[in-house]
Amino acid sequence: MLTADNLTVAYGRKTVVHGVSLSLDAATGAPAAGAQGGVALIGESGSGKTTIARALLGLVKPSSGTVRFADQDIHRLRRTARTDYRSRVQPVFQDGSEALNPRMTVGTSLREALRLRSDAGPTVDALLEAVGLDPQLAARHPHQLSGGQRQRVVIARALAVDPELLILDEPTSALDVTVQARVLDLLEELRTTAGLRYLLITHNLAVVPRLCDTVHVLFAGRVVESGPATEVLTSPAHPYTAALRDAIPRLGTPDAADTRSSAPPARLERSDAQTAATGCAFRLRCPAALDRCTTEAPTLRPLTDHREVACHHPHGPA
């Protein structure tokens, strides 16, 4: 069980994550039938989602709040306990060309990870096959691979230490759609074959339902909405979630699209930040901001049994 409790992270004087709490089950048996067991963190650049991932991985220290794994604060672990944590929670970062050492062959990268296991573990060939790659690629350098192949290597490296939980930070957004679909297939399959749980971090809502059943929507470092994925995505309560959902590129012909050339007059894009310093941070972009939104910051409160939202005027659940 990985939990973040009231997590706050600041870089210098700038606080980028404000009191975020979330929890993830890791390896408590297979998820219930039909459930994915995954949790998604959704937000755009600047929402603090990557910082949360880094705090969960122990790469940045929170300025307050805690990250606990198996009831231990991961930022205060002793050496052996830290090694244990490292082998149970692994990241998959966005860009395979960045996440792999350009001077190492694929095989060397994987062997480096395998060496950290206490037991013998699988071979490099087996790892590559597990992610659907030809073992001959072990001799290649990252720049000799395609984007999809690189991302598979990154996943293989994470699997090398036999983790329970993968933290996926935009795992497919640097890839072509077709490649993206195949990498998602792979992740779906590994969930059962390798017994993995996922924390998925993305700005694209469309990839969420395949891997996750719980979502947290982040805006400006705060959770603005959370709940079961299907409910939140089909009937968003927070206007920001609705905006994210509506922005997903959908298939449709120009003639069918009523938006064409009759788009509402967008507001002049202001040069200042799109987040408000007082009141609700989203109010500058909100289509239905009230007077109350300028003065009082909404807090996360229950909407239904499973859902929470931080908004003064949420859309009611359908």
Exposure of 107 in the CB half-sphere (CA atoms within 13 A):
9
Is residue 302 a contact point for other proteins (CB under 8 A)?
Answer: no
80 touches other proteins (CB under 8 A) = no
- Provide the mask over 100-139, with x wherever binding to other proteins is found by CB under 8 A and - wherever it is not: xxxxx-------xx--x----xxx--xx-xxxxxx-----
- Cα-Cα-Cα-Cα dihedral sign, residues 227, 207, 33, 195: negative
Question: Of 64 and 259, which has the nearer Cβ to other proteins?
Answer: 259
Number of residues that bind other proteins (CB under 8 A): 100
Q: Which C-beta is closer to other proteins: that of 19 or that of 77?
A: 77
CA–CA distance, 172 with 163 (Å, rounded to integer) = 20
Helical axes 147-159 vs 106-114, angle rounded to 10°: 20
Residues 72 and 229: their CA atoms lie apart, in Å, by 28
Name 72's bridge partners.
69
| Candidate ranges 8-16, 238-246, 290-298, 308-316; the one touching other proteins (CB under 8 A) | 238-246
- Binding to other proteins by residue 86, rule CB under 8 A? yes
107, amino acid identity: G
203 part of the interface to other proteins, by CB under 8 A: yes
What are the angstrom distances between the C-alpha of 140 and each of 112, 150, 236? 15, 11, 45
Q: Pairing between strand 39-42 and 64-69?
A: unpaired
Closest distance to other proteins from the beta carbon of 272 (Å):
8
77 binds other proteins (CB under 8 A): no
Single out the segment in contact with other proteins by CB under 8 A; choices: 11-19, 65-73, 85-93, 304-312. 85-93
* Residue 157 touching other proteins (CB under 8 A): yes
Q: Burial-class residue 266 by CB neighbours within 10 Å (0-12, 13-18, 19+).
A: exposed
Report in angstroms how near the CB of residue 95 gets to other proteins at its nearest: 7
Question: Is 317 one of the binding residues for other proteins (CB under 8 A)?
Answer: no
**Which range of residues in 4-12, 176-184, 292-300, 301-309 is near other proteins by CB under 8 A?**
176-184
Contact flag: residue 194 with other proteins (CB under 8 A): yes
Choose between 263 and 277: whose C-beta lies nearer to other proteins.
263
Two tokens, residue 298: 């909404």
d(CA 99, CA 173): 14
Cβ atoms of 139 and 105 closer than 8 Å:
yes
Q: List b or e across 47-84, with b for residues whose CB sees 16 or more CB atoms inside 10 angstroms.
A: bbbbbbbbbbbbebebeebbbbbeebebeebeeeeeeb
CB of 80 or CB of 316, closer to other proteins: 80
Taking the complex as a whole, how short is the minimal distance between the CB of residue 295 and other proteins, in angstroms? 25
When binding is defined by CB under 8 A, the residue of 6, 23, 35, 59 that contacts other proteins is 59
Closer to other proteins by CB, 54 or 313: give it. Answer: 54
Q: Which stretch binds other proteins (CB under 8 A): 7-15, 33-41, 69-77, 252-260?
A: 252-260
Rule CB under 8 A: is residue 248 a binding residue for other proteins? yes
What is the 3 state secondary structure string of 46-75?
A: CCCHHHHHHHHCCCCCCCEEEEEECCEEHH
x/- letters, 23..42, toward other proteins (CB under 8 A): ----x---------------
